[in-house]
Amino acid sequence: MKDSLQRLAERADSEGLLDVAYASVDSPFGPLLLAATPRGLVRVSLPGYDAEEALEELAERISPRVLEAPARLDEARRELDLYFEGRLTEFDLPLDWRLTDGFRKRVQRAIERIPYGQTRSYTEVAALAGNERAVRAAGTACGSNPIPIVVPCHRVLRSGGSLGGYGGGLPMKEALLQLEGIL
């Protein structure tokens, strides 16, 4: 049965029927759920995610043609592994931004450009996104980042230097900042 399902996923992909491929991958913090459309990585769910909820969200917001198909996530998995080992400082993955829009998206795209090992304040990313007064909205945009780690919202801190929040929990944010030599 496993072979049949794998063959099905491959054929669905080659016939353009695999709108969302997903895979659960290991990380030092627990399993991540990765999802990709034909355009690119669209969602990273951090450890502690509710799989049913995450998949239903993808079905509802992108397409119900959601299949477990790890092959499409191989490159993302490889780069994430290297990143967690401290051997990769810049992701080179096509991203699909369709789960975000408006000012949130501008903030997230600004976050994408924060270099490895550096941090910005919520105020700074608000300014980078074109509205330095929208600090609260910038915070919300960090919290609703659909592609965390790859879009490094963990590099955004409060102006005083305190950590702020993180979807995967503050210990994970702290560990990622340590990994990058910031803390």
Q: Give catalytic residues, as residue numbers.
A: 153
Rg (CA), the chain: 17
Residue from 11, 78, 113, 133 touching other proteins (CB under 8 A): that is: 11
Nearer to other proteins, 11 or 78 (CB): 11
Nearer to other proteins, 61 or 136 (CB): 61
| Structure-derived torsion over alpha carbons of residues 139, 47, 170, 76, reported in degrees to the nearest 10 | -70
End-to-end CA separation in angstroms for the chain:
48
Tell me the per-residue interface mask from 60 to 79 with other proteins, x by CB under 8 A, - otherwise. Answer: x--xxxxxx-----------
Nearer to other proteins, 96 or 180 (CB): 96
How many residues at the interface with other proteins, by CB under 8 A?
22
Residue from 34, 41, 46, 55 touching other proteins (CB under 8 A): that is: 55
Using an 8 Å Cβ cutoff, are 115 and 181 in contact?
no
Q: Which region among 2-10, 42-50, 75-83, 103-111 touches other proteins (by CB under 8 A)? A: 2-10
Nearer to other proteins, 5 or 183 (CB): 5
Q: Is 58 in the site for other proteins (CB under 8 A)?
A: yes
Dihedral over Cα of 95, 73, 42, 146: its sign:
negative
Q: Which region among 13-21, 122-130, 146-154, 159-167 touches other proteins (by CB under 8 A)? A: 13-21
Rounded to 5 degrees, φ, ψ at 172 are: -70, -40
Which DSSP state fits 115? P
In terms of Cβ atoms closer than 10 Å to its own Cβ (0-12, 13-18, 19+), residue 126 is buried
Q: Is 56 in the site for other proteins (CB under 8 A)?
A: yes
Contacts for 49 with CB less than 8 Å, ≥ 6 apart:
33
CB of 155 to other proteins, least distance (A): 32
Residue 160, by phi and psi: left (phi above 0), alpha (psi -120 to 50) or beta? alpha
Which residues of this chain interact with other proteins, rule CB under 8 A? 1, 4-5, 7-8, 11-12, 15, 17, 20, 22, 55-56, 58-60, 63-68
